[in-house]
Amino acid sequence: MPTIHSHISDLRAALQTYRVAQRIALVPTMGNLHDGHLELVKIAKQHADIVVVSIFVNPTQFGIGEDFDSYPRTLDEDVAKLATVGADYVFAPTIDEMYPLLPPPTTILAGAITKQLCGKTRPTHFDGVGIVVSKLFNIVQPDVAIFGQKDYQQLAIIKQLVRDLSYPIEIIGAPIIRAADGLALSSRNQYLSASERRIAPILQQELQYLAKQIGAVQQPLDVLLSASRERITSAGFIIDYLEVKTTELTAVNDESIHNHQGLVILVAAWLGRARLLDNLLVTIGKVR
Residues forming the active site: 37
CA distances from 178 to 143, 157, 183, 239, 240 (A): 28, 23, 5, 20, 21
Identified binder of ligand PAF from the candidate list 24, 30, 174, 224, rule CB under 6 A:
30
Question: Kindly report the CA angle at 61 between 117 and 157, in degrees rounded to 5?
Answer: 50
Contacts of 154 (CB under 8 A, 6+ apart): 126, 129, 147
Segment contacting ligand PAF by CB under 6 A, of 12-20, 24-32, 44-52, 217-225 = 24-32
- Shortest CB 208 distance to ligand PAF, Å: 24
Q: Which is nearer to ligand PAF, 133 or 211 (CB)?
A: 133
Contacts of 75 (CB under 8 A, 6+ apart): 31, 55, 92
- Shortest CB 59 distance to ligand PAF, Å: 10
Show the DSSP H helices in the chain as ranges: 8-19, 35-47, 75-84, 95-98, 118-121, 125-140, 152-164, 194-199, 202-216, 221-234
Identified binder of ligand PAF from the candidate list 78, 151, 206, 278, rule CB under 6 A:
151
Q: Which is nearer to ligand PAF, 50 or 277 (CB)?
A: 277
3-state helix, strand, coil in the chain (%, to 5): 45, 20, 35
- Shortest CB 287 distance to ligand PAF, Å: 25
- CA 106 – CA 131 distance, rounded (Å): 8
Contact 150, 36 (CB under 8 A): yes
Q: Which is nearer to ligand PAF, 129 or 202 (CB)?
A: 129
Coil/strand/helix, residue 102:
coil
Per CB under 6 A, does 157 bind ligand PAF?
no
Per CB under 6 A, does 132 bind ligand PAF?
yes
Q: Which is nearer to ligand PAF, 28 or 119 (CB)?
A: 28
Q: Which is nearer to ligand PAF, 147 or 237 (CB)?
A: 147
Identified binder of ligand PAF from the candidate list 5, 25, 26, 29, rule CB under 6 A:
29
Q: What count of Cα atoms within 13 Å lies in the side-chain half-sphere of residue 198?
A: 2
- Shortest CB 156 distance to ligand PAF, Å: 13
Segment contacting ligand PAF by CB under 6 A, of 27-35, 103-111, 172-180, 208-216 = 27-35
- Shortest CB 264 distance to ligand PAF, Å: 17
- CA 157 – CA 113 distance, rounded (Å): 7
Burial profile 221-237: b = 16 or more Cβ within 10 angstroms, e = fewer? beebbeebbeebeeeeb
- CA 187 – CA 73 distance, rounded (Å): 10
Contact 25, 53 (CB under 8 A): no
Per CB under 6 A, does 186 bind ligand PAF?
no
Give me the 56-75 binding string for ligand PAF, x by CB under 6 A, dash otherwise. Answer: --x--x--------------
Per CB under 6 A, does 28 bind ligand PAF?
yes
- Shortest CB 62 distance to ligand PAF, Å: 10
Per CB under 6 A, does 92 bind ligand PAF?
no
Contacting residues toward ligand PAF, per CB under 6 A: 28-30, 58, 61, 129, 132-133, 151, 154
